[in-house]
Amino acid sequence: MRVPFILCHDNLDFAKKYSGQELQHIQRYSQKFVEASQLVEIMKAQGYPLFSPVIWVCRDGVVSKRYSHEGEAVGLTNCHFIEGGFDLLLRAVETD
């Protein structure tokens, strides 16, 4: 079962690593970085409750950490970020 979430990213090209149904799922639930207050409005317009999981990811994890904290400050209650960013995540997956 796939769990709905919002994946906020910094113009990452997921097609380099994913394809088919996996890529479609990521694209369906992804959103390029916007200010946290804008994301709240987008979520409300799309019918997502503010407790929906929000995952922030950038190349190195620095920007996504800041955005995650900003999201919590404006009322998002389930914010997460990828420590070390997308590049570190890909390296970890490739070594498995």
Range of the domain at 65: 6-95
User: pLDDT tens digits, residue range 4-57?
Assistant: 778 888 888 888 888 999 888 888 888 888 888 999 999 999 888 999 999 999
Burial of residue 6 (number of CB atoms within 10 Å: 0-12, 13-18, 19+): buried
Query: Domain for residue 42, yes or no?
Result: yes
How many independent structural domains does the chain possess?
1
User: φ and ψ at 76, to 5 degrees?
Assistant: -75, 125
Query: Domain for residue 67, yes or no?
Result: yes
Token pair belonging to 78? 């389930």
User: φ and ψ at 59, to 5 degrees?
Assistant: -60, -45
Query: Domain for residue 76, yes or no?
Result: yes
Is residue 1's pLDDT more than 80? no
Q: What distances in angstroms separate CA 7 from CA 29, 50, 53, 95, one per listed residue?
A: 6, 14, 9, 24
Query: Domain for residue 14, yes or no?
Result: yes
Query: Domain for residue 1, yes or no?
Result: no
Query: Domain for residue 39, yes or no?
Result: yes
Residue 77's CB: how many other CB atoms inside 10 A? 12
Average pLDDT over residues 51-69: 92
The CATH code of the domain that includes 26 is 3.40.250
Q: What is the DSSP secondary structure assignment for residue 9, as one 8-state letter?
A: E
